Amino acid sequence: MAKLFESISIRGKTSRNRIWIAPMCQYSCEHQDGVPGQWHLVHLGSRALGGAGLVMCEATAVHPDGRISLWDTGIWNDDQAAAWVEVTNFIRQAGSLSAIQLAHAGRKASIYRSWSGEGAMGLSVGGWEPVSATSEAFPGYNTPKELTTAEVYDSIDDWVQAAKRSVAAGFDVLEIHAAHGYLVHQFLSPITNNRTDEFGGSVANRAKYLVDIVSGIRAAVGEDVPLLVRFSATDYRADGFTLEQCAEVAKLCEAAGADLFDISSGGIVLGVQIPTGPGYQVPLAKEMADEVSSPVATVGQITDAKQAEEILQSTNIDVIMIGRASLRDPYWPLRAAHELGVEVDYWPNQYSRGKYPS
Ligand SMILES: Cc1cc2nc3c(=O)[nH]c(=O)nc-3n(C[C@H](O)[C@H](O)[C@H](O)COP(=O)(O)O)c2cc1C
């Protein structure tokens, strides 16, 4: 049996296979209120019907200031949580686990979605002043306000409240977005964190914002909810966040109640060379998996069933996340099963006449 189609359980939640849909922003809350709508239901629901073990909803803001754009989804209020229920119900009925990626964009907030404008959305046209670990702007973006120490503690509570709302909305799994140059990463990286309070300085201090979020969420949601963390395991700069630091932070997160690490890279600065290509982030995930005792997921230009299976066979990586390939083909997992010669029992009954001929 292909490893890709072995189940995996975390804290009693079982994913029917190791193919998880990566979080992908849709910028589709047309009322700019963070409330998911029909687009989200159909988009996410299709990928659950397509056979994924877990469907991860897009970066969803824990505070209105944490939206990348005005069209992002949110989970900072109860109206948003109520609207997510339809999505989590559908994903469950289709046999997938539902996950939400909790997010705060920090200094990378307040931009246009690509089809509504370009670059930063200024304050005079509906944008806002972002907040960050630093007062230094991301190139071309609005200048952020550096959070005071007291505001950092308030922000940690935003994540905890958002996590509670997510569980109430029916999500099986939570992920903290600590990657891609967004707020948590802005605390982790020495490039963007030169704070002198308890949230800056040593690796442990720079990790404190994240570790406090992890332990706060764990205490709030109890022992039955899997909690994942997405990291950028390198800034691709010698003076940045490194794989070694990332492993140290992951271990602190494990001790605080995190269960799986989802390994990505980059995003904190421009102008670095990212060595893209098929499976380009697999070596980072492999090294992280050697360092931590928790399971690890890999993502990035994994497009083919045999490629995905080979990664699981040849490394200690536990889960494959599929992003863009699943935008081309929502039924990627069902096709992968066919290509690997695996009989799965989760073709939707309505689609059984469309099964691949044997
Ligand atoms: C349209 C789109 C939206 C994305 N939004 C998010 C997001 O909300 N959160 C996140 O962590 N990564 C996001 N990503 C990155 C993906 O999760 C994934 O890591 C990346 O696309 C590489 O995987 P792939 O080559 O399989 O697409 C996004 C990527 C795309 C293409």
- Please report the domains of the chain, with CATH numbers, ordered by start residue: 3-352 (3.20.20.70)
Q: Where are the beta strands (DSSP E) in the chain?
A: 8-10, 13-15, 19-21, 54-61, 97-103, 131-132, 145-146, 173-178, 227-232, 260-264, 296-299, 319-322
Active site residues: 182
Percent of the chain with pLDDT over 70: 100
- Predicted confidence at residue 1, as pLDDT, reads 80
Nearest CA to ligand 1 atom 30: 24
Instruction: Pick the closest to residue 298 from 309, 286, 307 (CA basis).
Output: 286
Confidence grade of residue 198 (pLDDT, cut at 50, 70, 90): very high
Per residue in 159-189, pLDDT tens?
999 999 999 999 999 999 999 999 999 999 9
Task: Tell me which H or E stretch contains 153.
Answer: helix 149-168
Residue 358 pLDDT exceeds 80: no
Whether the pTM exceeds 0.95: the reply is: yes
Distance CA(120)–CA(109), nearest Å, equals: 8
Enumerate residues lining ligand 1, CB below 6 A: 22-25, 58-59, 101, 177, 179-180, 230, 264, 299-302, 322-325
Average pLDDT over residues 117-146: 97
Q: Cα(24) to centroid of ligand 1, in Å?
A: 5
Q: Cα(330) to centroid of ligand 1, in Å?
A: 15
Which atom of ligand 1 lies nearest, measured to the CA of 302? 26
Q: Please tell me the number of Cα atoms within 13 Å of 129 on its side-chain side.
A: 8
Residues pairing with 321 in the sheet: 20, 299
Instruction: Pick the closest to residue 138 from 116, 102, 109, 104 (CA basis).
Output: 109
Between the alpha carbon of residue 43 and those of residues 166, 332, 349, the distances in Å are 19, 14, 19
Percent of the chain with pLDDT over 90: 99
Q: How many CB atoms lie within 10 A of CB 90?
A: 19
Which atom of ligand 1 lies nearest, measured to the CA of 264? 19
